[in-house]
Structures are given as structure tokens and as C-alpha cells.
Structure 1
Amino acid sequence: MKNNNEVHKAFLLGISRQLMWGYVAIAIFMIGSGLEQAFLSKQLIEMGFLANQAAFIFTIYGVAVAISAWLSAILAELFGAKKIMVFGTITWLVFQIGFILFGIIPENYLMIVLMYGLRGFSFPLFVYAFISLITQTTPMKQLPGAMGGFWFAYSLGLGVFGSYLPSFTIPKVGYIGTLWLAVLFVGLGGLISVFGLKNVRTFDHCQIEEESKEPFKDSITILFRKPKIFLAAIVKMINQLAANGYVIAMPLFLTSHKIGFTMSEWLQIWGLMYLVNIAFNLIWGMVANHLPWHRVVEWFGCVGMALACVLFYYVPYLYGPNLIAMFGVAALFGAALAAFTPISAIFVALAPEETGAAMSIHNLAGGLSQFVGYGVTGVLLSLFDTAGFVWSMAGIYLIGAVCAHFLAAED
């Protein structure tokens, strides 16, 4: 049995040291995978495509992401997480090259839709397969910290470097040159994962007691056989609703004549939110190692987000374009959003003998969150004014708190 010193050497801040290169790979991979998100819609419009055509491209991409996210955990159980990560890297590179050569350069709309959609199917195979590897290599008590490390790396690559890097590369090498640069980042991330994770060993608690002969069926029926997994999926889907919805609604509200922020100030507010969120992904992971996981999600995540949603409206409504005050609100928003970090570990704890099926639902809920967020935002804004929208979003998070209340893992 390992003594405390050996455990400390194996884990740093709850993160397995044998997976450290995997976290580096995720960050670098996501720089490349998200590099075009800041400019692709503008590029498509400048190429002469209509706004609804650009929206359709992103819709197909999102559908592919959701399906692949669901499949990734199942495939990782069947063939091994590291093999699926390699497959995800190779297919991403193939479809990105096809996207550039056969879609973007000749401005062929059908090939853009096809290749970008297939590329959307590829990236979850790498990213979500690594989540499966985390569950297979990390003791149960260390899972929140390990998942916090994952979301830190993911957000650092996608939300920080992936968002800001194009502002430097586009003036130098243009849109197409930046798309080629993404190939380099993803290829490097894939190589790091291959060599950095080759000696990774798994823990017994994550092994399936009896190999399922119907993994695809089990990944659906688990929703009915284990009702808490269904509740956890609702919470996971609610997780990112405001992050996806407020990025649409709040620029319109905050930069209106009634409030008075500039677009540059809005971008600073939202950028600060992501910086705080990245830091708190690690912090909440460590906190959850010492508190009941579902309580962290319930109170700091769901209730915290309900409060942040309301403050995002009423602070500027009452005090006007006070940038310092909004920085405080954005910091609360980012910290509360990160408090959902333990939900990934909760899925595993609720079905330790069916981690593949449980994580497939976790990944599907995460993939669907973007669509639900955009859809809910569109419906709510069409029915209510901004105040009605923010109170509705706060209410949804309180529903999430009720669901999270019942997510304690049974002994």
C-alpha cells in the first residue's frame, strides 16, 4: 500500500503526474482546434457566402461535435483511449487539410460544409478520449482535481491562446495562413500525447467488472437504469448555458445607449471572465477533494451562476458603465462557472462499474450544451426583454441546483 509521500509524488494538486504531458497536449491541441473560431464567420462572409449559409456550417459542425462526444467514451472503452486520441489527431489533420484545399481556397461551399463537419467529428475523439483516460488512471478521490486540470488546459488552449493568437497571425499570414498554422498546433499536440502518454498505467477501480457486449445500447439505457445519471446530464447541459447565451445577449445590452459600454470594454469584461474561469478550474478541483462534490456543484456552481446571471444585468442597469464593478461581476461569473468542474467526477462515482457508458452521457450533455444555450437564448430573447432573459437563465440554474442536490454517490 502506498504511503502518503508516494501518493504526493504521484499526484500534484490532485493531478496525476503520469498524465502531465497529456494536459500539455490538450492545451496545444485546442489552440489549433479553436484557432478559426474568432474569424471563420467573418471570413465566410467576405468570401461572398450569406449569413444563413455560415450559420448552417457551424450548425453541422456542432451536430458532429455532439455525436462524436457521445461516441468517444464508448470507443475509448472498446479500443483504448490512447488509440482513439491518435485516430482523432490523424482524422482532424486530414479533414483540416481537405477543408483548406478543397473548401476554403476554391470557395466550394459543399466541401466547406463536408470537411468542416467531419473535422468537428474528429476533435472530440482526441479531447474526450483523454477524459476517459483520466478516469482510468486516477483514484476516485483525486478525480475532481484531475478534471479541474483538464478544463484548465482545455480553456487555456481554446479560450485564451486560441482566441487571441489570430489577432497576431492574420495581419501577418492572413486567414488561410492561420488555418495552416492550426495544422501545426494540432499535429504537435498529437505527437506530445503519443510520446508523453505511452507509459501510462490504469487503476483497478476504473476497470469494467464485466465487459459490456452492447456498449452503444448501454450508453443510452444507463439514463433509465440509473436515474441519477439522467439528473447529472441535466446539470452538465445547464453548466454552459449562460456562457453560450450571454456572449450573444450581453454585448447588445451592455453596448446599448441605455448602458454605455464600448465594444472594447465588453471584450475586456468577457476576457476577464475567462481568465478567472481558467484559474478557478484548478481551485475548485482542489476544493472538491475536501468537500462533497455535488455540494460544490449545487451551491458554488448552480446557485453561484444564478446570482452572477442576475448581477450581470442589474449592476450595469443601476450603476451604468462602471468597468471596475463589471470586472467584479465577470470574476464571480467565471468562478461560479468553474465550480461545475466536479460534475465529471460525479458521473464516474455514480456508475463506477460503467464508466464508459456514464462518460458517454457526460460527453453528449457537454456537446449538446452549446446548442441548447444558443436555442434557449434565441427563444427567451424573442419572448422577453433582457431582464426577463436573465431571470429565466437564473431560474434554469436554480433548477440545476435542485438536480445537483440529489447527486450524492451511493456507498
Structure 2
Amino acid sequence: MQSQQYWFGLPRHLLWGFIAIAIFMSGDGFEMAFLSKHITDLGFSPAQSAMVFAVYGFAAALAAWASGVVAELITPQKAMLIGFVLWIVMHALFMALGLGLRNYPLMLLFYGIRGLAYPLFIYSFMMMLVQVLPREKLAAATGWFWAMYSVGIGVVGSYLPSFTIPMIGETGTLWMAIGWVALGGITAFISLRTVPVDRSRVNLPMKEKMAELSRAATILFTNRDIFYACLIRIINTLSLFGFAIIMPLLFVDRLGFTISEWLQIWAVFFFVTIFTNIIWGITGEYIGWIRQVRWFGCLGMAVSSLTFYYLPLWAGHNFAMALIPAVMLGIFVAAFVPMTAVFPTLEPHHKGAAVSIYNLSAGMSNFLAPAIASLILPFFDIEGVVWAYTGLYVFAGVLTFIINVPQPKRASKAAKAADAYAEQRI
């Protein structure tokens, strides 16, 4: 029966929900490559442009933190609908009254509020996966989730503007994003409206709902394993976010790569994650979530981070050699995919709060990676930052020996079979 319901770990009855994530994030990602420059071209300073993104990032982190509990309290479908409508309205206001009138306060206001939208949309779908899928299927499904995320924001969202900007300009491309987000939102609304989700907390009194929302913060202090898992998830993507900032200094300024060559190298990394997110999601079901995170995620990222610095430094301006660490990074960063399933497993009676902590961890990684770089660069240069990230991956590996996570059934059976085979050999 399960072979009919799942395709390489993808739950078929939620197929269009995954497709909706890819379409939605494509529209959300159109602006990544050029909006900052577009704002400065309108006459604003680089500092003002950076502040727009800082406000947006803060709002996105806040929404990511709250989305798990919100989806649990009002149902994932309603939370996704709110995120979808909020994105459309705020983006239109940002374009018309913010950028259109070159009104800086309105740019901050509307783009900031829009930052609440995409986490509410995509992470509410993740909460739906947590609610409706068997625990042993969750890691593979979240692998597909992150693969669709990469397809949207990392592939379509990055490449399509390079074709549309010459034809319809930057402003036209930004307006076009509404069409993609609308298509993604409508696809999700139609395909997921009848999915049977957990409604046990929907009719709680407001006081109990607020208590559940507060648990998304207090759970860090009441559940030791959740706290350790939070640290591991923060460390997960430090190199991803940090290398995007510091490695152009190495590749372009010191090794002689063009900015186009660097962008192609970084694009290869994102392309690889499309497949590795799926592969590691399935593999984790067999070898165990934490085992995979420890040996392939933590250790793999420690080695990949060092390779990303030292191999190009040794090989010089060699494009083919530079692709090797990009591929390695794309392989091993995805080995952390089972962490999505780990959080609700550690707090089964408050899954929404647990997922919210997972989302908060992802946001904190986005913030801490450049913060660590900015603190270390003046004293120890790029090499020091790389070693700092490497040390943190080793630290995360140590934490995996402390955290106690029940393994999925399939992993348990595989481990027992391996132990039995070993005994027979002895």
C-alpha cells in the first residue's frame, strides 16, 4: 500500500503541495539577485538598502518562529492562505507606494510586513507534513520539501530574472513575481484544502492558545534535547550563508575568478542540493537520523568547509577544481535534512512549538553566519572564519552523542539486521 502512496519518499497525495512550494518560492526569489542594487539605483544609499533587508530578515525570522504554532492553532491551510494573501497585498503596496513613489518609510513598512508572509506559507506546509505523515516517512518528505525550496529560490528564482530583466526591466520582473506567487498560492489552496489535518487545538480558548504560542519559546528551557537540536540546526547552514559573503573575496579578489564564474560555482552548489535533499531524506530512514547528521552532516561539512578554502587556494584560478568543494558542500549540507523530523519527535505533544523552534534555528543560522564572519575577518581573515565554522561543525557532531532521539522504525530494523549479521560473522 505504501509503495502506491509514496514515490521515492514523496507522498503522492501531497504532490501538488510540493509543486506549490516551488512555484511560490520562485516568485519570492526573483528579487534576490538585483533588488538591493535596484534600490540604490533609485537614489538610496547602500546603508538604506541594507536596512530594508535587515527589517525584512527580522520579520521573516519572527514569522518562521511563530509559524509552527500558528499553523497548529488555526490549521496549516488557513495559515498558508494568510501568508499567500499577505505576500500579494504587501508586495503590491511595496511596488506601488514604496518603490513607485520612492518613499523610504513605506518601503521599510511594506517590505518588512511582506517578510512575515513566505515563512508563514512554506513552514505551515511543513507543519502539515508533520501532522499527516507517519514519523518514519517524515525525513524523506522534508527532503522533498527542501528540494522544492531549492528549485524555486535557488534555480528558477535566480536564473529566470537574467532573461526577463533585459526584456521587461527590473520593475517589470518585480511585478511579474506576483503572478508566480499567486499561481503557487492558488495551487496550494485547491490541492490541500481537503487534507485531513489535526484540529485538536483549533477550538482551544484564547488563553490556552496564547500559552501554546509562548511554549514556542519556553520549550527551549524545558526540553534539553530540543535545545541541543536547536544548536545543531543553527550550525547546519553556517557555511551556506557565510560562504556566500566571504568566498567572493577569495575567488574574485584574490584568485582572479570573474564574478560570473563565482556565481556559476555557487549555482552548482544549489543545483546539487535539489537531489541530495531527496537522497538524504530517504537514506536517513535506513541508517538513522542522528547517525546521518553526525557522520555525514557534521563531519562532512567540516571537511567540505576546509576544502572550499584550501583546494582553490592550492589550485589557483582553475574553474573545474573549484567545482569540487561546491559539489561537496551541496552533498553534505543536505545530510541535516532529518533534523526537520527530529524536532517534533522530541516533543510529540507540542509539535507546533517544536517545529517553530526548528524554524527559529534556521533563521538564527542566517543571522549568525555573517555575524561570525564580521567579527573574525578583521583579526584572522577568511581562513579564520573557515576554521570557526569548521570548529562549530565538530562541536555539533559532539552534541549528536548527547541528544537522545528515537530512531524511525525502518532505521531500527536496519540497525538490528546489521547487528545480527555482525554476530553471525563473529
TM-score, normalization by structure 2: 0.91
Amino acid at match of 1:293: W
Amino acid at match of 2:57: G
- Cα distance in 2 for partners of 1:89, 1:110 equals 23
Pairing partner for 1:294 from 256, 270, 290 = 290
Whether 2:219 is the aligned partner of 1:218: answer no
- Cα distance in 2 for partners of 1:290, 1:271 equals 30
1:79 alignment counterpart: 74
Whether 2:152 is the aligned partner of 1:163: answer no
Whether 2:365 is the aligned partner of 1:378: answer no
- Cα distance in 1 for partners of 2:114, 2:135 equals 33
SS in 1 for 2:33: coil
RMSD value, Cα: 1.6
- Cα distance in 1 for partners of 2:389, 2:97 equals 41
Contact 1:346 1:407 in 2 (8 A): no
> Identity of aligned pairs, percent?
41
- Cα distance in 2 for partners of 1:342, 1:250 equals 28
Contact 1:144 1:344 in 2 (8 A): yes
Contact 1:295 1:405 in 2 (8 A): no
Q: CA deviation digits over 1:210-246, x for unaligned, max 9?
A: 9765112211221122111011111111111111111
Whether 2:324 is the aligned partner of 1:331: answer no
Whether 2:304 is the aligned partner of 1:308: answer yes
Deviation at 1:196, TM superposition (A): 0.8
Q: CA deviation digits over 1:119-151, x for unaligned, max 9?
A: 001111101100100101110000110000000
Contact 1:138 1:202 in 2 (8 A): no
2:413 alignment counterpart: none
Contact 2:372 2:385 in 1 (8 A): no
1:201 alignment counterpart: 196
- Cα distance in 2 for partners of 1:125, 1:254 equals 36
2:269 alignment counterpart: 273
Indicate the larger mover: 346-355 or 61-70: 346-355
Whether 2:16 is the aligned partner of 1:21: answer yes
SS in 2 for 1:201: coil
2:109 alignment counterpart: 114
1:3 alignment counterpart: none
Contact 1:207 1:353 in 2 (8 A): no
Pairing partner for 1:139 from 123, 134, 137 = 134
1:124 alignment counterpart: 119
Amino acid at match of 2:235: I
2:414 alignment counterpart: none
Whether 2:239 is the aligned partner of 1:237: answer no
- Cα distance in 2 for partners of 1:284, 1:406 equals 22
Amino acid at match of 1:392: A
- Cα distance in 2 for partners of 1:410, 1:223 equals 19
Deviation at 1:400, TM superposition (A): 1.4
2:417 alignment counterpart: none
2:100 alignment counterpart: 105
Indicate the larger mover: 185-194 or 296-305: 296-305
Greater percentage in helix: 2
Deviation at 1:410, TM superposition (A): 4.3
Contact 1:86 1:190 in 2 (8 A): yes
SS in 2 for 1:256: helix
Pairing partner for 2:177 from 170, 173, 182 = 182
Change (3 A) 1:349 1:207: farther
- Cα distance in 1 for partners of 2:230, 2:28 equals 25
Whether 2:400 is the aligned partner of 1:404: answer yes
Whether 2:408 is the aligned partner of 1:393: answer no
1:250 alignment counterpart: 247
Q: How does 1:35-46 map to 2 (within 5 A)?
A: 35-46=30-41
Amino acid at match of 1:393: Y
Q: CA deviation digits over 1:138-167, x for unaligned, max 9?
A: 100001100000000011100000011111
Contact 1:136 1:207 in 2 (8 A): no
- Cα distance in 1 for partners of 2:200, 2:287 equals 25
1:61 alignment counterpart: 56
Pairing partner for 2:318 from 314, 317, 322 = 322
Q: How does 1:355-366 map to 2 (within 5 A)?
A: 355-366=351-362
Q: How does 1:44-55 map to 2 (within 5 A)?
A: 44-55=39-50
Aligned length in residues: 402
Deviation at 1:408, TM superposition (A): 3.5
Contact 2:266 2:326 in 1 (8 A): yes
Deviation at 1:207, TM superposition (A): 6.8
Instruction: Structure 2: state its 5+ residue gaps.
Output: 408-426
Amino acid at match of 2:92: I
- Cα distance in 2 for partners of 1:317, 1:36 equals 32
Amino acid at match of 2:244: V
Deviation at 1:262, TM superposition (A): 2.2
- Cα distance in 2 for partners of 1:275, 1:407 equals 31
Amino acid at match of 1:66: A
Amino acid at match of 2:93: G
